């Protein structure tokens, strides 16, 4: 028989807060018991009985859960089961998510456009500046009377979207918002954090400074003449696997779209209230953001169906979306919260707007989470029962899925789509809002399972975050990681994760090891459909790692 896989026992490879629910997943075999040993020793810290064998359809496995919630003593441990290699080591401790949270934010710094990364901040990943974006051409699809095709505008800063070097407003929307939401919910945690970025120590929390790098870019994507917002800033085709400074092709802003205007409006409305206390450091900026949000909203009202259509000469990412009812609802909700103007709440269409797990193309859930966060000061216009009900109902469904899953996670077969890792974390983010609203412990526990999933309790037995855990992606589809001639990838990035469509297999020299949804993952730089990184995937990792750190009872 083949030797058992070194990572046959699946466990969160970072670890757990002392008061958290704790599970490992063990392949079904002869064993009925397990122990938790002090890492690298035979000292038994906990003994337990494995749960019943259960089928996990997304991975075609029979597995048993190993529960060890009762073990709360700080330390470094491994799970041990007869006949199997010990699990990856993990830690139990009171600050166990500090490192992964900081790394997941620092990843944005590493993806900054238009600036050099200095060794003092970037260490081995220091690099020269790329993409100044001070001479960006208006593409024919974006031409307006004031800015005919070929007009040059300045649109510097921002983050590269992902493994590519383009900048997309739609995806910037949910990404930047989720970072701001993490700050709104857990300000004390972020005020105490030092990320060693150029702005550290400037009297603004580092997370907000990092978000500002992208917000400043986003503001340049609005046409001041009419309030419309360009959909993306892009090359005509993707760059090769080169460093930013080597990618010098012409850059364009492409088409104003309804989705871009609304995502921009939602984020600027959010940012104007988050930065309001920093008026002294950033004079005039909160008011400017608020006015920009309102101008974009008015443009969208006048252009309600301007969907993105990829021009014939452009082949980069689309982020196309032909249903913008959710974007309308989200922008209206944020404008309502920020301005207090009841007309925005009416425009949100709350009674018809459902709550769903958020993604770049479905932002309804963000509206409900923001309303829940601010519910105490919304006044009588907003329907409090409706807000609580939407979040609670969605959380109930996710918690039920978690109870029924052999891995004890909310993820189900259909959740293994492009960017599945972020599906797990956006589910967890919803559950954390459910927990904050209702205090139902099972929501907190199901959220924990989402983080456990991306950090190792998954069918491929690896942490999906670069540089974190015993076994993590070595070859993400990320141009700097490939081109920088450093063996280890840029740290702190969550890769997209398994999904069976394998849209990249024509571009890969090696096959995927499996076609099963939860195992269809390839740690190869060719695999943009399972192993790319992206700003919208890291954002819920920032949120969830902070939230569990802040909310888990001791
Ligand atoms: O939602 C459907 C699902 O119902 C269906 O079962 C499944 C079957 O494969 O498909 C799902 O839709 C997929 C969708 O992602 C899910 O969000 C589409 O097939 C898939 O093509 C789509 O992929 C998008 C991808 O771009 C290609 O357009 C990803 O969402 C999106 O995250 C990704 O974003 C790219 C940018 O365009 C460019 N920069 C890198 C970035 C990350 O890869």
Q: What percent of the chain has pLDDT over 70?
A: 99
399 has pLDDT over 80: yes
Name which of 264, 249, 267 is nearest 296 in CA terms: 264
pLDDT in tens, 225-239: 999 999 999 999 999
Query: For a pocket test of ligand 1, which of 322, 418, 527 has the largest count of ligand atoms closer than 8 A to its C-beta?
Result: 418
Give, in degrees to the nearest 5, the angle at Cα 231 between 225 and 235: 110
Clarify whether 326 is annotated catalytic.
no
Sheet holding 23-27, edge to edge: 23-27, 61-67, 54-56
- Whether residue 539 lies inside any domain: the answer is no
Task: Convert the pLDDT of each residue in 108-147 to its tens digit.
Answer: 999 999 999 999 999 999 999 999 999 999 999 999 999 9
Ligand 1 centre to CA of 227 (Å) is 29
Q: What sign does the CA torsion over 359, 375, 379, 396 have?
A: positive
CA-161 nearest atom, ligand 1: 39
The set of residues, in sequence order, having a beta carbon less than 8 Å from that of 214 and lying 6+ positions away, is: 108, 157, 158, 159, 172, 175, 176
The contacts of residue 140 (CB under 8 Å, 6+ apart) are 149, 311
Mean pLDDT, range 305-330, rounded to an integer: 98
Distance CA(399)–CA(442), nearest Å, equals 7
Minimal CA–CA distance to 176: which of 542, 546, 550?
Answer: 542
The protein residue with its alpha carbon nearest to ligand 1, atom 26, reads: 317
Q: What is the DSSP letter of 200?
A: T
Give phi and psi for 248, each to the nearest 5. Answer: -120, 15
Q: Which of 161, 110, 152 is nearest to 134 (CA)?
A: 152
Q: What pLDDT score does 3 carry?
A: 66
Residue 70 above 80 pLDDT?
yes
pLDDT at 5: 84
Q: Does 164 qualify as catalytic in the annotation?
A: yes
Say which residues have a Cβ less than 8 Å from residue 70's Cβ, sequence separation at least 6: 46
Q: Is 368 helix (H, G, I), strand (E, B) or coil?
A: helix
Q: For residue range 263-300, what is the model confidence (pLDDT) as tens digits? A: 999 999 999 999 999 999 999 999 999 999 999 999 99
For residue 397, the CA-to-ligand 1 centroid distance in Å is: 24
| Interatomic CA distance for residues 192 and 69, integer angstroms | 29
Atom 7 of ligand 1, nearest CA residue: 417
Q: Collapsing DSSP states into helix, strand and coil, what is residue 63?
A: strand
CA of 318 to the centre of ligand 1 (A): 10
**Can you tell me which atom of ligand 1 is nearest the CA of 163?**
40
Whether the complex's predicted ipTM is more than 0.90 is answered with yes
In Å, what is the CA distance from 29 to each residue of 8, 25, 82? 11, 12, 10
What mean pLDDT is predicted for residues 501-519? 98
Angstrom distance (rounded) from CA 495 to CA 473: 8
CA of 418 to the centre of ligand 1 (A): 5
User: Residues 139, 477, 478, 524: which is the catalytic one?
Assistant: 477
Instruction: List, in order, residues 6 or more apart from 92 with CB less than 8 Å away.
Output: 15, 16, 17, 18, 22, 71, 72, 73, 74, 75, 77
- Smallest Cα–Cα separation from 137: which of 310, 258, 261, 254? 254
Q: Shortest CA distance to 544 belongs to which of 71, 239, 100?
A: 100
CA of 545 to the centre of ligand 1 (A): 25
For ligand 1, what atom is nearest to the CA of residue 503?
A: 21
E strands present in 289-417: none
Handedness of CA 80, 84, 86, 92 (dihedral sign): negative
Is residue 448 over pLDDT 70?
A: yes
Tokens of 139: 């593409």
**Residue 472 — φ and ψ, nearest 5°?**
-140, 165
Which atom of ligand 1 is closest in space to residue 414's alpha carbon? Answer: 6
Can you read off the two tokens belonging to residue 211? Answer: 């978000």
Q: From ligand 1's centre to the CA of 319, what distance in Å?
A: 8
Per-residue pLDDT at 417 exceeds 80: yes
Which domain CATH number covers 126? 1.50.10.10
DSSP for 380-397? Answer: SSS-HHHHHHHHHHHHHH
Domain for residue 417, yes or no? no
pLDDT value at 154 more than 90: yes
What are the tokens at 282?
């950033």
Backbone conformation region of residue 65, classed left if phi is above 0, alpha if psi is from -120 to 50, else beta: beta
- Residue 150: which region, alpha, beta or left (left: phi > 0; alpha: psi -120 to 50)? left
Concerning whether 532 is annotated as a catalytic residue, the answer is: yes
pLDDT of 438 > 80? The answer is: yes
Confidence of residue 2 (pLDDT cuts 50, 70, 90): low
Q: How many CB atoms lie within 10 A of CB 414?
A: 9
Atom of ligand 1 nearest to the CA of 317: 37
**Atom 38 of ligand 1: nearest residue by CA position:** 317
Choice from 417, 494, 539 to test ligand 1 binding pocket (greatest atom count within 8 A of CB): 417
Instruction: Confirm whether 204 is domain-assigned.
Output: yes
- 538 falls within a domain: no
In a domain, 346, yes or no: yes
Q: Give how many domains the chain has, as a whole number.
A: 1
What is the number of the ligand 1 atom nearest to the C-alpha of 316? 38
Q: Which of 454, 413, 416, 415 is nearest to 543 (CA)?
A: 454
Residue 523 falls in the annotated catalytic set: yes
For residue 414, being part of any structural domain is answered with: no
74 three-class SS: coil
pLDDT on residue 80: 98
Question: Which burial class, exposed, middle or buried, applies to 534 when counting CB atoms under 10 A from its CB (0-12, 13-18, 19+)?
Answer: buried
The Cα 448–Cα 380 span in angstroms is 34
Ligand 1 pocket at CB < 6 A: 161-162, 164, 317-319, 359, 417-419, 501, 528, 532, 534
Residue 530 resides in a domain = no
Residue 1 reports pLDDT greater than 90: no
Please identify which of the residues 206, 362, 452, 532 carries the catalytic annotation: 532
Q: What's the whole-number mean pLDDT along residues 358-380?
A: 97
Q: If you average pLDDT over every residue of the chain, what do you get?
A: 98
Q: Confirm whether 115 is domain-assigned.
A: yes
Structural domain range at position 275: 98-382
Output the CA 120–ligand 1 centroid distance in Å.
36
> Quick one: pLDDT at residue 106?
99
* Atom 34 of ligand 1, residue of closest alpha carbon: 317
Report pLDDT for 6. 85
d(CA 300, CA 263): 10
């Amino acid at each position: 028989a083949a030797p058992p896989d070194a990572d046959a026992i699946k466990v969160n490879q970072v670890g757990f807060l002392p008061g958290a629910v704790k599970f490992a997943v063990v392949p079904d075999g002869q064993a009925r018991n397990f122990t938790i040993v002090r890492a690298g020793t035979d000292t038994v810290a906990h003994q337990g009985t494995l749960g019943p064998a259960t089928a996990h359809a997304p991975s075609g496995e029979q597995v048993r859960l190993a529960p060890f919630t009762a073990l709360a003593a700080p330390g470094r441990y491994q799970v041990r089961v007869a006949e199997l290699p010990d699990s990856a080591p993990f830690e139990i401790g009171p600050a166990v998510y500090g490192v992964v949270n900081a790394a997941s934010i620092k990843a944005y710094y590493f993806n900054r456009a238009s600036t050099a990364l200095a060794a003092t901040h970037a260490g081995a990943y220091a690099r020269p500046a790329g993409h100044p974006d001070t001479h960006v051409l208006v593409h024919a699809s974006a031409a307006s009377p004031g800015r005919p095709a070929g007009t040059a505008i300045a649109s510097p800063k921002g983050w590269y979207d992902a493994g590519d070097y383009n900048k997309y407003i739609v995806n910037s929307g949910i990404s930047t918002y989720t970072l701001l939401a993490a700050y709104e919910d857990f300000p004390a945690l972020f005020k105490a954090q030092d990320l060693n970025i150029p702005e550290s120590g400037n009297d603004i929390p580092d997370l907000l400074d990092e978000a500002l790098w992208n917000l400043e870019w986003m503001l340049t994507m609005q046409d001041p003449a009419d309030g419309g917002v360009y959909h993306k800033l892009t090359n005509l085709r993707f760059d090769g696997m080169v460093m930013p400074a080597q990618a010098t092709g012409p850059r364009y802003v492409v088409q104003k779209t309804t989705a871009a205007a609304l995502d921009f409006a939602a984020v600027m409305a959010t940012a104007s209230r988050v930065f309001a206390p920093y008026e002294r450091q950033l004079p005039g900026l909160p008011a400017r953001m608020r006015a920009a949000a309102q101008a974009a909203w008015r443009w969208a009202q006048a252009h309600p169906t301007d969907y993105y259509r990829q021009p014939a000469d452009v082949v980069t990412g689309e982020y196309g979306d032909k249903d913008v009812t959710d974007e309308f609802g989200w922008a209206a909700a944020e404008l309502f919260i920020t301005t207090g103007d009841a007309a925005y709440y009416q425009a949100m269409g709350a009674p018809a707007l459902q709550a769903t797990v958020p993604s770049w193309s479905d932002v309804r859930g963000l509206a409900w989470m923001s309303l829940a966060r601010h519910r105490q000061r919304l006044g009588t216009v907003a329907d409090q029962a409706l807000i609580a009900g939407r979040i609670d109902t969605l959380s109930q469904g996710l918690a039920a899925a978690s109870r029924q899953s052999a891995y004890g996670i909310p993820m189900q077969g259909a959740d293994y789509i492009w960017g599945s890792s972020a599906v797990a974390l956006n589910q967890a983010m919803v559950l954390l809002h459910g927990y904050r609203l209702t205090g139902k412990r099972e929501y907190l526990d199901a959220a924990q399972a989402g983080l456990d999933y991306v950090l190792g309790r998954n069918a491929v037995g690896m942490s999906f975050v670069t540089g974190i855990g015993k076994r993590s992606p070595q070859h993400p589809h990320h141009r700097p990681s490939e081109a920088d001639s450093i063996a280890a990838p840029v740290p702190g990035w969550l890769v997209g994760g398994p999904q069976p469509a394998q849209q990249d297999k024509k571009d890969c020299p090696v096959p995927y090891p499996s076609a099963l949804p939860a195992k269809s993952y390839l740690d190869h730089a060719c695999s943009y459909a399972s192993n790319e990184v992206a700003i919208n995937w890291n954002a819920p990792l920032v949120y969830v790692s902070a939230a569990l750190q802040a909310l888990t009872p001791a």
